[in-house]
Amino acid sequence: MPQNKLTTIGVTGISGSGTSTVAAILEERGGFVAQADKLAHEAMGKTEPAFAEVIEAFGKEVLNQNGEINRRALAKLFGNKKELEKLEKIIHPRVIEKTRELNKKTADIAAHTFFVIDAPLLIESGMHIMCDSIWLITAPDDLRIARITVRDKIDEALAKRRLASRKGDDALRPFAHIIIENNGSAIALRSKTETALKAMSLKIHGFDGLKVLEI
């Protein structure tokens, strides 16, 4: 188990599964949430080293009118595995570094009792080794697509390409300690998240329960 001052939960899942919603519930329960997507966005800021690397790798076509990196333009890389891997090699190390810094700072804040990493690419980036408990949030593809199209205001074809660019649930399940299926209402997801938090607390403090808890 990683020697963190705070228990670290890694929340992951394919886009549209509801990882951010689960992370928000955990935040209400006393967790500090490090959002990998937000940290990635910060890592590509004009004053950050990754900014120049991204421009060098993909050209000025990825800039918006304000001279900042256009995340929608980068999203088009999801359909090109080679280009996507190139971007991830630039961004992942920065996100990991920023996450570690936040973890150290949060340990000194009494208001937070555990640390949460909300990261769609938790496993692929290697950030899962920082976690005491890994939670995989799943959902049927039709629900994921519906959520993505509404959330990101994109068409169904692009939403399907995003899903296709990621490894499926079967590739992520072997890493998970807790699996939550988000196929119902917001109330149901909240109940499942709170059940998972209680179960995780018991397990970390010596409860010899199921190796993987599926809710």
Tens-place pLDDT, residues 74-99: 777 766 778 888 899 999 999 999 99
Write out pLDDT tens, residues 100-157. Answer: 999 888 877 667 889 999 999 999 999 999 999 999 999 999 999 999 999 988 889 8
Domains of the chain: 7-214 (3.40.50.300)
For residues 194, 197, 202, 206, the Cα torsion angle rounded to the nearest 10 degrees is 170
pLDDT confidence of residue 3: 45
Q: How far apart are the first and last CA of the chain?
A: 23
pLDDT confidence of residue 147: 95
Q: What are the contacts of 187-195 at 24+ separation with CB within 8 A?
A: 189/18, 189/21, 189/22, 189/25, 190/25, 193/22, 193/25, 193/26, 194/25, 194/29
| DSSP letter assigned to residue 9 | E
Is the confidence at residue 1, as pLDDT, over 60? no
pLDDT confidence of residue 176: 94
Tell me the pLDDT band of 5, cut-offs 50, 70 and 90.
low
pLDDT confidence of residue 78: 66
Kindly report which listed range (35-44, 99-108, 202-211) carries the lowest average pLDDT score: 202-211
Write out pLDDT tens, residues 155-204. Answer: 898 888 888 878 889 999 999 999 999 999 999 999 999 999 988 877 66
Percent of the chain with pLDDT over 70: 91
Check if the beta carbon of residue 135 is closer than 8 Å to that of residue 12: yes
pLDDT confidence of residue 98: 93
Say whether 49 sits in a helix, a strand or coil: helix
Rounded Cα distance, 201 and 64, in Å: 45
pLDDT confidence of residue 80: 74
pLDDT confidence of residue 169: 93
Write out pLDDT tens, residues 47-79. Answer: 998 999 999 998 888 898 888 998 877 777 766
pLDDT confidence of residue 191: 96
Rounded Cα distance, 27 and 115, in Å: 9
Stretch 18-39: mean pLDDT:
95
Instruction: Determine if the pTM surpasses 0.75.
Output: yes
Query: Which residue, among 210, 203, 195, 159, has the nearest Cα to 17 in the 3D structure?
Result: 159
Check if the beta carbon of residue 118 is closer than 8 Å to that of residue 20: yes
- 10 Å CB burial of residue 45 (0-12, 13-18, 19+) is exposed
